Amino acid sequence: MLRRREISIWLLVVASFIVLIVLVGGLTRLTQSGLSIVEWNLVTGTFPPLSQESWNIEFDKYKTSPEFKVLNSNISFSDFKTIYFWEYFHRLLARLVGLVAIIPLLYFFIKKKINKYELRNFLIIPLLILIQGVIGWMMVKSGLSMKTYNGIGVSHYWLSLHLFLALTTYSIVVWRYLCVQDPIKSVNRNKMNYGFLIFFMIFSQIILGALLSGLDAGYITSNFPDINGEFYPEQSIVSFSNPYFLHFAHRWFPVIIMLISIGLYNKVKSDLSHKQKGLFLILLFVFVIQMVLGIMTVLTSINISMAIMHQINAIALLTVALIIAFSLSSK
């Protein structure tokens, strides 16, 4: 019992760190802070500038970046410190989550609280976090060269891959937590597939949002339901590099998700427990809130507070969908 409790707490802490990193990453993006630090120093980069001379050096480095030359040539020293803080804090959290993921895991193994098989299963978590760090640097690097700088920031593909890995890691951690709490003894394949279909659709919708954000496509209109007077803009070409298409797809794909989810619920509801039916109601409630927050984000021209609430609720929605998938997996 104590072993299960310790592992559960560890997984919850790791999951919480990942959520915090995703939210701070969102703030870093919304405040245009992601390219304020132009180097990746794993050890020395742990410490922020502690003197005026150090701050001047960092500011001079930033002045060599495409973002400064194209967009921020008039940025004040005080404003630079602000955007530097968000990027520094984001990177610091990434370092911390790596330690939080690996140190307790090694402790559990050394103290024989987990066996070699369990260690191998859990090692995917720190491994993905390590890969996530590498992808994060590749994302930043894509915005530090005039050849790859797109006038907006980093590559929206690298940005989306960065979020994809973060949410994948988060989902694995939450799934492991659920398995520790209530191990699956036998699998119900049909219901499990329905649950995962809902989960993957919601996951895909969030990644669409990342692609949209990476191209600043949220700013092309502040209208709803039309996009600058059109339902389907004539500038929209089916491409994941077209901001009008991404904006359109991110608006209306949730309607498809909701209809499919309701259809799947009706198909299996006679076999659902009272608890499982309650989970579907929670999913519907959080889904509606998410759609309202999305609309409000557009109508307020991407107000930062509204956008962050939209992001927080997206993680909540994904979590509920994952819990449903887990609940439906067990006979």
pLDDT tens figures, 296-318: 999 999 999 999 999 999 999 99
Q: How far apart are CA 200 and CA 215, in angstroms?
A: 23
Tokens at 211, concatenated: 């692609």
Question: What is the token pair recorded at 84?
Answer: 């530097």
Judge whether residue 146 has pLDDT over 70.
yes
Q: Are 125 and 14 in contact (CB under 8 A)?
A: yes
Q: How far is CA 95 from the centre of its chain?
A: 17
Distance CA 248, CA 229 (A): 13
Taking the CA atoms of residue 305, residue 309, residue 312 and residue 315 in that order, the dihedral angle to the nearest 10 degrees is -140
Average the pLDDT over each of 101-110, 184-193, 207-216 and give the range with the smallest value.
184-193
Distance of alpha carbon 72 from alpha carbon 310, whole angstroms: 27
pLDDT reported for residue 42: 77
Please write the tens of the pLDDT for every residue from 5-45. 999 999 999 999 999 999 999 999 999 999 999 998 877 67
- Per-residue pLDDT tens digits for 107-129: 999 999 999 999 999 999 999 99
DSSP labels, 53-76: HHHHHHHHHHTTSHHHHHT-TT--
Segment 226-240, tens digit of pLDDT: 999 999 999 999 999
Q: What is the mean pLDDT of residues 213-224?
A: 93
Q: Decide which of 328 and 2 is more confident.
A: 328
Residue 185 pLDDT level (bands cut at 50, 70, 90): confident
| CB atoms inside a 10 Å sphere around CB 269 | 11
**What is the arithmetic mean of pLDDT over 73-85?**
95
Judge contact between 11 and 180, C-beta under 8 A: yes
**d(C-alpha 71, C-alpha 153), whole Å:** 10
Comparing CA positions, the residue from 104, 106, 101 lying closest to residue 133 is 101
> In the predicted model, what is the mean pLDDT of residues 258-263?
96
Two tokens at 76?
Answer: 């004040």
Average pLDDT over residues 252-263: 96
Cβ-based burial of 42 (10 A; exposed 0-12, middle 13-18, buried ≥19) = exposed
Residue 295: Cβ-neighbour burial (10 angstroms; 0-12, 13-18, 19+): middle
- pLDDT for the residue numbered 52: 95
What is the model's pLDDT at position 331? 62
Cα–Cα distance, 219 to 279 (Å, whole number): 34
Q: In this structure, are residues 254 and 290 in contact, taking their beta carbons and an 8 Å threshold? A: yes
- For position 182, what pLDDT does the model report? 87
pTM (two decimals): 0.95
pLDDT average, residue stretch 203-207: 98
The SS3 assignment for 252 reads helix
Fill in the DSSP letter of residue 49: P
